[in-house]
A and B are shown apart, each in its own frame.
Chain A
Amino acid sequence: MTFGGFFNDTRVRGLALQVLAFAGAVAFVAWIVVNTNTNLGRLGIGVDFGFLDDRAGFNIVQTPIPYDNNSTYFRAFLVGLVNTLMVSALGIVLATILGFLIGIGRLSTNWLLAKLCTVYVETIRNVPLLLQVVFWFEAVLVLLPRPQAGIVLPFGGNLNNRGLYLPAPVTEPGFLAVAIALVVAIALTIVLARWSRRRQAATGKTFPMWTVGAALVLGAPLLVFLVTGAPLAWQEPTLQRLNFTGGIVVIPELAALLVALTLYTAAFIAEVVRAGVLAVPRGQVEAAGALGLHRGLTMRKVVVPQALRVITPPLTNQYLNLIKNSSLAVAIGYPDLVGVFKNTVLNQTGRAIEVIGITMAVYLFISLVTAVAMNLFNARVALRER
């Protein structure tokens, strides 16, 4: 084989191009690493994560895990992380529910409902999310009164521009029995559900599983709760000179961010759901009708399982977007990972490379875990060909 012939071979050329591309990528990364190290070394500052054990010294407005200004930077990082996870998880649940409702609504035969849902989707998804976050934050603050003139809610709650204050449950001895009752009831329900499914498969007899299950899960703990003499006290928020103390507080930043993320992502999820339902061939519905299944059963047993196959992959994208978009919290002062760690900690320590590196790695990790979980779910709902 001549030298020219060697390079005329498609496989060799393809391989050569791949090797070149790989070499280019390696060289680029090596250049960044070497350049960074050279310059940091020249200034006498190396990459060092020791600062994470230093005292943070600043306060954070929302601390789901114990934290005060004597805690370490690592603790501050954890607070930011938990706040990010919290708003993301709440946002995913709420956006999914709202998105499904709106998506189904757009397919409704009710003209008004379908058009309203269309207007919602087209308005919300075409306005930048950052503007919506700021809009809801300003709206929340403008609408709500000062703490001294707060809106009094039943059971000692209060709504004002410092947040939604609710009474906090304080457990007393004996509450453990209630928790145990709940666990037992859930376990029983699962066993009962298995039995009912097997019986239906064998005999065709149905069992009112939903009613019985709900009665069990709600009723059993309630009964124990009453028998043990209601071992739960409520700590009501009380107005001090400037603000309420005690109780549970939902800060306006969380509310605004959650509303913005939910509404925005729900618009996209609605489209995903609509596409998924429309992807189920009409013949399937007609066949179910011919078999005598009523509308609800057709939806539950025929349309939804097939639609889910189409919905799940793009739904994963929307979840990942929501998690990443939660970093817009920084604009309104919700103490998420970016606000606490990438802003405050970075500025106080000046450790740009370490802090940015950790922050990016954490978002990557959360997103990958979410993607893996959704892929597992997707594998479950995928069409199994036999």
Chain B
Amino acid sequence: MKTAVVAAIIGVTAGLAAAAPASAATLDDVRARGYLQCGVHTGLFGFAEVDNNGEWAGFDVDYCRAIASAIFDDPTAVRFTPLSAAERFTALQSGAIDVLVRITTWTMTRDASLGLTFAGVNYYDGQGFLVPADAGFETAADLDGGTICVQTGTTTELNLADYFNSRGLTFTAIAVADRAEAISAFEAGRCDAFTADASNVYSARMTLATPANYEVLPEVISKEPLGPMVRIGDPQWLNIVRWTHYALLNAEELGVTQANVAEMLASPNPEIQRLLGQNGAAFGEMIGLTNDWAARIITQIGNYGEIFDRNLGAGSPLGIERGLNALWNAGGIQYGMPIR
């Protein structure tokens, strides 16, 4: 009787332990499942938000859809997992999502200690300040001695402390976990300023009762390269995410848009031929996809510039300038590695 129970315990334990999740080949898992699992922000206008039609929309969301298009030629083959700042890494580590595209700053700690890695920088951001327009703040240094609302669980708190300390300035940080509550406290006058990544600050300004009464300080106090993350140990999957990003950039550089991609298939330009998999170019197969992978992305989603304009730039209420995110040959630092 006793030996039987002990044997049963050992058997059950061993059986459960063997049922390890997420195998090494993420692409095989995604294909077998039939859709991509993408971790995004819980709700940040311009980057990831459920729109009026109940569909996810935004800059980060379009990156998820681009990856899904490359694999399935179907931008809807994505399941979005909204994640808080604190949940995001655990979700990727545990295999609950395949890729994390959630305005995550590329830092050395995150690259080296989480078992995760960054596939590129899809948005060069910096920490900015939102202040009442009539308060007379010209630069962030004018906030000396003031109170600053900040959302917890981000590099934002560290940058804030570093910036003020290195200049011998003092401040009081009100760290609120919920972004909406942090903005609400700022609007109610609890703080002199609200700080977050500049993109986030522009988005926050839109949600205030009278956005015109508030301004974003011209200064950014940190480097915030935001990018998609994947688990380490799967170079093929890393390549798929990384080269999806480069394909978007190269398409913009070469003038391939969602509207003209069909004509561009017949382009005599060898760079475009390599991008779109024409004339025997077999780059998609190198990363486990089909050779028309980039053509699928551009057809379904558009190029980098189109994604930016639609969600953040001139075509969106946010109206954020391209700035650092312009292509390298247009005054910015976005640079697509060559496909060859």
Contacts and interface: CB of A to CB of B under 8 A. Distances in A.
B23 to A, nearest CB: 10
A347 B153 contact: yes
Given A161-B188, A352-B89, A61 B173 contact: yes
Nearest to B11: A27
B143 interface: yes
Contact of B109 (A335, A340, A350): A350
B195 to A, nearest CB: 12
B154 A352 contact: no
A274 interface: no
B190 interface: yes
Given A30-B13, A333-B185, A43 B177 contact: no
Contacts of B90: 352
A59 B172 contact: yes
Given A343-B177, A347-B154, A43 B160 contact: no
B21 A333 contact: no
B25 interface: no
B93 A343 contact: no
| Chain B interface, DSSP helix/strand/loop, else mixed | mixed
Interface string B104-146: 0000011001111000000000000000000000000001111
Contacts of A45: 93, 113-115
A333 B9 contact: no
Nearest to B192: A242
A350 B113 contact: yes
A123 interface: no
A57 B161 CA distance: 7
Interface string B276-289: 00000000000000
Contacts of B213: none
Given A38-B17, A61-B173, A43 B5 contact: no
A58 B13 contact: no
Contacts of B20: 35, 38-39
A333 B182 contact: yes
Nearest to B189: A161
B157 interface: yes
A347 B152 contact: yes
Interface stretch (A18-26, A151-159, A202-210): A18-26
Contacts of B219: none
Interface string B77-121: 000000001100110011100000000000001100111100000
A333 B158 contact: no
Interface string B150-185: 001111011011100100000111111110011011
Given A45-B113, A162-B147, A333 B181 contact: yes
A242 B147 contact: yes
B16 A31 contact: yes
B177 A57 contact: no
A146 interface: yes
Given A59-B160, A141-B189, A141-B190, A344 B146 contact: no
B211 interface: no
A53 interface: no
A346 B5 contact: no
B233 interface: yes
Nearest to B8: A23
B233 to A, nearest CB: 7
B174 A34 contact: no
A266 B96 CA distance: 42
Interface residues of B, number: 58
A375 interface: no
Contact of A42 (B86, B182, B233): B233
Contacts of B149: 333
B143 A43 contact: no
A16 B1 CA distance: 9
Interface residues of A, number: 55
A112 interface: no
A280 B315 CA distance: 73
Contact of A350 (B114, B158, B165): B114
Nearest to B164: A59
B333 interface: no
A27 B189 CA distance: 54
Contacts of B17: 30-31, 34-35, 38
A44 B115 contact: yes
Contact of A57 (B162, B182, B232): B162
B314 interface: no
A248 interface: no
A59 B171 contact: yes
A297 B162 CA distance: 63
A146 B189 contact: yes
Given A31-B17, A333-B181, 12 more contacts: A23-B9, A23-B12, A30-B17, A31-B13, A45-B114, A60-B175, A134-B181, A141-B190, A242-B146, A333-B152, A343-B152, A350-B114
Interface of B: 1, 5, 8-9, 12-13, 16-17, 20-21, 85-86, 89-90, 93-95, 109-110, 113-116, 143-147, 149, 152-155, 157-158, 160-162, 165, 171-178, 181-182, 184-185, 188-190, 192, 231-233
- Nearest 6 interchain pairs by C-beta: A43-B115, A347-B153, A333-B176, A31-B16, A141-B188, A58-B157
Interface of A: 16, 19-20, 23-24, 26-27, 30-31, 34-35, 38-40, 42-45, 57-61, 69, 134, 137-138, 141-142, 146, 161-162, 240-243, 245, 252-253, 330-333, 335, 339-340, 342-344, 346-350, 352
9 contacts: A27-B9, A27-B16, A38-B17, A39-B93, A39-B94, A45-B93, A161-B189, A333-B152, A343-B85
